[in-house]
Amino acid sequence: MRQEATGARIDAGAMLAQVQAWSAVNTGTANLAGLASQAEMLAEAFGALPGRVELVEPAPVTAIAADGSEYAKPHGRHLVLKVRPEANRRILLTGHMDTVFPADHPFQRQTWIDGETLNGPGVADMKGGIAVMLHALLAFEESAGASALGYDVLINSDEETGSLASAALIAALAQGKLAALTYEPAALPDGTLAHERGGTGNYSVTFTGKSAHAGRNPEEGRNAVVAAADLILRLKALETGEITINPAKLDGGSANNVVPDHAVLRFNIRPRTTEAGAGFEQALARALAAIAAEHDVAIHRHGGITRPPKPVDAQAQRLFDLVRQCGAELGQDIRWQRSGGVCDGNNIAACGVPVVDTMGVRGGAIHSPDEYLIVPSLAERAALSARVITRLASGALD
């Protein structure tokens, strides 16, 4: 099946073949060998576009182990393509090559659910989206006005774990851009886009107390697990309609007859607004100071807000309206809704660049072994993107 876009033809068969080849490579965020293989495959594919492909080293990232120690967390390289950097109008297109399925996960194979629906790891999130991006750009390069627009492409290796190793790269590439398109799968199988998004933050808090015998001299101990439990209750008390807080994991303790001197609490927050995130940071600082004093423990905090909330301002709404208009011209009914999820679109919007971040395929059940791609959406969404990019080249957002 082929679909027209900006006078060019999009080859859905070639797109599907790429998605299947890419999906066959496990690219869990921690699978560095798989990511390296995928990066080379993508570099070859995007080499069909004008410009220079580069594989960029990840930024250093640390994490907290169960014993409270901080360690370096390795990541794969990121792909960057720059086309016509001297152009007056420039946009950013982003995607990610990693998935949530590690190398030892049982979900490694593709299965046809029916003639139009493919089940497989990453087929929707977002190897299908990468194919949409690539073929939209190939179609755009055949258009008469392609020389009027420059663009940067970023495909990072760590989006599924928060883009900590690529956040600075995203921010650098976003600078000076007219608009951005990100190729996460559509919010709903019918193609609905994600509109406003909340933010997210991940935290690890380490408590260091003092061990003692639980029977002979418990009063001399300082119970780190109790201090962590105190924080859990205080965190839940901070929830409002503007923020949710999820205490997710508590490590620590030892034998039943020992006052535990160590605990690590990990939690996630989801602020709906920037103000809610800032308010939480202040409340957390007060809570940690109070717990340290009341329980006589030492506290070390790691982490914070990694993706700020993504409101949709007037300029961003113009981009959404442009996508809807282009969809209508292609017979696609484009709608949008608020989303509680986060992605690199949050990072881009925080740089002041209007972004639509669900330009990828239609599908569903992402982050599960039931993940599926609606195959006809490959060409459909590539045609949509190609038309949007062509309009941006002609000054639609000037």
What is the per-residue pLDDT across 112-139, written as a single tens digit (0 to 9) for each? Answer: 999 999 999 999 999 999 999 999 999 9
Q: Regarding beta strands 179-182 and 200-208, do their DSSP bridges make them parallel or antiparallel, or are they unpaired?
A: unpaired
Query: Quick one: pLDDT at residue 1?
Result: 38
Going by pLDDT thresholds of 50, 70 and 90, the confidence category of residue 232 is very high
Whether residue 133 is preceded by a cis peptide bond, meaning omega within 30 degrees of 0, is no
Distances (CA, A) of 54 to 2, 156, 160, 235, 305: 30, 12, 21, 43, 29
Mean pLDDT of the region 258-285: 98
Distance between CA atoms of residues 121 and 110, nearest Å? 7
Cβ contacts of 116 within 8 Å, gap of 6 or more? 374, 375, 376
Distance between CA atoms of residues 396 and 398, nearest Å? 6
Asked if residue 7 has pLDDT above 70, the reply is no
Cα–Cα–Cα angle for 68, 70, 75, rounded to 5 degrees: 130
Query: Quick one: pLDDT at residue 370?
Result: 98
Q: Write the pLDDT tens digit of every residue in 27-39.
A: 999 999 999 999 9
Asked if residue 385 has pLDDT above 80, the reply is yes
pLDDT > 90 fraction of the chain, expressed in percent and rounded: 97
Asked if residue 8 has pLDDT above 70, the reply is no
Asked if residue 10 has pLDDT above 90, the reply is yes
Q: Write the pLDDT tens digit of every residue in 21-72.
A: 999 999 999 999 999 999 999 999 999 999 999 999 999 999 999 999 999 9
Among candidates 247, 239, 237, 243, which has minimal Cα distance to 275?
A: 243
Q: Write the pLDDT tens digit of every residue in 158-185.
A: 999 999 999 999 999 999 999 999 999 9
Mean model confidence pLDDT for the chain: 97
pLDDT > 70 fraction of the chain, expressed in percent and rounded: 98
Query: Quick one: pLDDT at residue 2?
Result: 44
SS3 content of the chain, % helix, strand, coil (to 5): 35, 30, 35
Domain 200-306 grouped into CATH 3.30.70.360: yes
Would you give the DSSP letter of residue 120?
A: -
Please report which residue ranges of the chain form alpha helices under DSSP H.
12-23, 32-46, 128-141, 167-174, 224-237, 274-295, 314-329, 344-350, 377-393
Give me the residue spans of the domains in the chain. Answer: 2-64+73-197+310-393, 200-306
Going by pLDDT thresholds of 50, 70 and 90, the confidence category of residue 9 is confident
Q: Regarding beta strands 193-197 and 336-339, do their DSSP bridges make them parallel or antiparallel, or are they unpaired?
A: parallel
Strand partners, 264: 206, 251
List the CATH code of the domain at 2-64+73-197+310-393.
Answer: 3.40.630.10
